[in-house]
Amino acid sequence: MKSLWINPVLNKEIKLRFRSFKSFLGVFFYLFALGGIAIGFILINTVFSYSSTAIFRPEQSRTMFMVLSFVQMALVLFMTPGLTSGVISGERERQTLNILLTTPQTSTSIILSKLFSSIAYLLLMMVASLPLYSIVFLFGGVSPSLLFQIFGLYFVTMLTIGSIGVFFSTVIRKTIVATIITYGITLFFTVGTAFLTIISMQFSAFQNVNQTSVFPYITSVFNPFIILLNSFEEGLSNEINNASGIAFPLTAAFIIAFLLISFVCLFISIKKLRPNMKEKKGEA
Amino acid sequence: MIETINLTKRYGSFTALNDLNLKIEKGTVFGFVGHNGAGKSTTFSILATLLAPTSGAAFVNGYNVSTEAKEVRNHIGYMPDFFGVYDQFKTVEYLDFYGASYGISPAERQILIPQLLELVNLSNKSDVYVDLLSRGMKQRLCLARSLIHDPEVLILDEPASGLDPRARIEMREILKELKNMGKTILISSHILPELAEMCDEIGVITNGELVASGSVADIQEQLQANKIINVKLASDLEKAVLFFEDHHRVSTVTKNPNRDMLSFAFTGNDEEQIALLKKALDHGLAILSFSQEESNLEDVFLEITKGVDFA
């Protein structure tokens, strides 16, 4: 197990990723965007406010936390496919993959190292953004446990979207195609499932009150934004639970579903990285 | 050391490799000759565990490449025909990464890497980013990389391709040194005379099939029906032309009056060749030299692949 966590491929990936100037620029623009939104929000509610008092109140602080959380989730969803969908196909295009595959490094170690190094970079961005969240704590209105919960959701989301990116990077030869498909799936998880949830909820509203449908529950489970919103508004969870007749907590279902997707994607990636060397029976 | 038994690789209806049978003993330098798309790289990829054969079996050091791929990887050093490098690594870091990948301890790597860089004449480039190296230097670095775990077998797919003449000579010298170290080397190249110089055996592959295999001399003997004989005379060139034209094993006599020389194609064996020379001397021809033209590997390759459809 130790060899999985501390292995040459992971060392190499982290060294190459963090040595690049692009990585520095990535962190810079990430914080610039997030910081700009936080400061803009405070300015709108104080300096540019119509209120004569211009005080930043705890309830506004909570709203700012929500805004920051949603923006951060959007950035995670935007950056993860870009960081992971080229990890294997990029090596293939650079013609370095074949050499790597002739080393005794296991497919599991190569795939997980690629994923973990990408997640490590995203985690660096998350950690770097923590001082921005300290503004929220300065004004109050948000509990630390909620912050941990939100960061837990980010982690599960980046792990799953990252695994999907690695999967397509492994099974598709061209990075550009793998990237487009990964972004497509991410878009479906965000916009597609949200749209389907709204439609199905509306449809349920027209039906008999006693009649339930699992459809809104299923579509909600795959939407990170709905789950994030659920962390702030517990009433949303109750509404979906009532409409579907499923009492199982929405956030727990999201974590299970996403981790399952991640596991399947990584399992197939590990199997597909190297050719199946077992002799094919029955073929001439 | 390397053995393939009826090794076949098909892509749909296209057969890239058909029933390849090879046996390369330990310490042998085996040259694989063939036109582009003949099946050389396919064979190398299977031996390097990068490609699964459709049927047949391949063994490296007694390990089956299909079922014991991990053991095979520990025993081979593979250099593909086209390869890339991690451009943000320095030369030393590049080798260090692969050394670590093969489970070599950091202390051993510190000793090993300068030795390898010296072997490939890159000691003065140890702190340079790999991306800044010339193509020839990258090829040599890749060769050093393939040697990092001291493999017994080296699989080198066109290691000298795309290099300028000086870089080719440098690469050839390194390969000679590796041969002296007792490595079993499987090498492919289009620079056929170079292969002839350094290989103990060669195999000629066309359209996925091995059409000839053995020592360079054996193959020349087996496959060259016509020997070219050059004769230099002190006098009587015309008389000599008439004499040789009259012999039933001789054809296509061409003369070079400026140099008092003639040459002809001869289809007989060694005994008949001796008898022909004796008869010519008895006939009173003033022969200064009588020699068989040495044909190089390129001629052999062209002879063997004559009429093969390369499309």
Give the residue extent of every domain in chain A: 57-273
Domain ranges of chain B: 2-220, 225-294
Q: Does B76 touch chain A (CB under 8 A)?
A: yes
pLDDT on residue A282: 38
Find residues 29-48 of chain B whose CB sits inside 8 Å of chain A.
45, 48
- What residue in A sits closest to B94 (Cα-Cα)? A12
- A239 phi/psi in degrees, rounded to 5: -60, -45
Q: Which helix (H) or strand (E) covers residue B211, if one does? A: strand B209-214
| pLDDT 10s digits, A64-90 | 888 889 999 999 999 999 999 999 999
d(CA B11, CA A206): 56
**A103 interaction partners in chain B (CB closer than 8 Å):** 73, 98, 101-102
The residue of B60, B70, B97, B129 whose CB has the most chain A CBs within 10 angstroms, and thus the best one to mutate to test that interface, is B97
B49/A contact by beta carbon, under 8 A: yes
Using the beta-carbon criterion (under 8 Å), do B73 and A103 form an inter-chain contact? yes
CB contact under 8 A, B145 and A99: yes
Distances from the Cα of B88 to the Cαs of A93, B81, B102, B116, B278, in angstroms?
Answer: 16, 22, 21, 20, 70
Q: Does B289 touch chain A (CB under 8 A)?
A: no
* Range of lowest pLDDT (A229-233, A254-258, B305-309): B305-309
Give the separation between CA A214 and CA A241, rounded to whole angstroms: 9
* pLDDT for A281: 43
The C-alpha atoms of residue A70 and residue B66 are separated, in whole angstroms, by: 50
Give the model's pLDDT for residue A283: 36
Contact B126, B170 (CB under 8 A): no
Pairing state of beta strands B153-157 and B76-79? parallel
- Range among A36-50, A199-213, B38-52 with highest mean pLDDT value: B38-52
pLDDT at residue A208, rounded to an integer: 65
pLDDT-derived band at A279, boundaries 50, 70, 90? very low
| Longest alpha-carbon distance in chain A | 86
Q: Is A113 exposed, middle or buried (0-12, 13-18, 19+ CB in 10 A)?
A: buried
C-beta separation of A17 from A24 below 8 A: no
Q: Do B52 and A280 touch (CB under 8 A)?
A: yes
Among B1-5, B36-40, B290-294, which stretch is predicted with the lowest mean pLDDT? B290-294
Output the pLDDT for position A262.
97
Predicted confidence band of residue A284 (pLDDT cuts 50, 70, 90): very low
pLDDT band at B181 (very low <50, low <70, confident <90, very high): confident
State residue A23's pLDDT score. 87
Tell me which of A10-14, A63-67, A242-246 is least confident.
A242-246
Q: Which of B73, B100, B103 sits opposite A102 (nearest CB)?
A: B73
| Three-class SS state of B39 | coil
Mean pLDDT of the region A247-265: 94
**For residues B100 and A105, what is the distance between their CA atoms, to the nearest angstrom?**
10
- CB interface of A with B, residues 14-33, below 8 Å: 15-16, 19-20
- Does residue A46 have a pLDDT over 80? no
Under a CB-based contact definition with an 8 Å cutoff, are residues B78 and B39 in contact? no
Q: Which residue has the higher pLDDT, A57 or B248?
A: B248
Compute the distance between CA of residue B265 and CA of residue B267 in angstroms, rounded to an integer.
Answer: 7
Reported in sequence order, the residue ranges of B38-195 that DSSP labels E, i.e. its strands, are 55-60, 63-64, 76-79, 153-157, 184-188
Section B264-277 average pLDDT: 86
Q: What is the mean pLDDT of residues B99-105?
A: 92
| Residue owning tokens 């499923």 | A246
CATH of domain B225-294: 3.30.70.100
Chain B residue closest to A105 (CA)? B101
Contacts of B100 in chain A (CB under 8 A): 8, 11
Using CB atoms, which residue from B10, B83, B100 is nearest to A99?
B83
Does A203 or A169 have the greater pLDDT score? A169
Helices (H), chain A: 2-5, 8-19, 21-45, 58-84, 89-93, 97-101, 107-139, 144-171, 175-187, 193-206, 215-221, 224-232, 234-244, 250-273
Measure B49 CA to nearest chain A CA, in Å: 7
What is the model's pLDDT at position B310?
45
Confidence at B258, pLDDT banded by 50, 70, 90 = confident
**Average pLDDT in chain A:** 86
How big is the A-B interface in CB pairs under 8 Å?
Answer: 87
B2-220: what fold? Rossmann fold (3.40.50)
Helix (H) or strand (E) holding B23: strand B14-24
Residue B239 pLDDT greater than 80, yes or no:
yes
Percent of chain A with pLDDT over 90: 47
Chain A residues within an 8 Å CB radius of B59: none
What is the pLDDT, as a whole number, of residue A158? Answer: 95
Q: How confident is the model at residue B297 (pLDDT cuts 50, 70, 90)?
A: low
Please tell me the predicted confidence (pLDDT) of residue A52: 57
Q: How confident is the model at residue A132 (pLDDT cuts 50, 70, 90)?
A: confident
The single residue listed with the structure tokens 């300065």 is A138
pLDDT digits (tens, 9 = 90+) for A95-112: 999 999 999 999 999 999
Distance CA B158, CA B187 (A): 7
Per-residue pLDDT, B225: 58
Q: Tell me how far apart the alpha carbons of residues B153 and A189 are, in angstroms, rounded to a whole number.
A: 50
pLDDT at A209 over 70: no
| Contacts of residue A184, Cβ cutoff 8 Å, sequence gap at least 6 | none
Q: Chain A partners of B54 at a C-beta cutoff of 8 Å? A: 280, 283-284
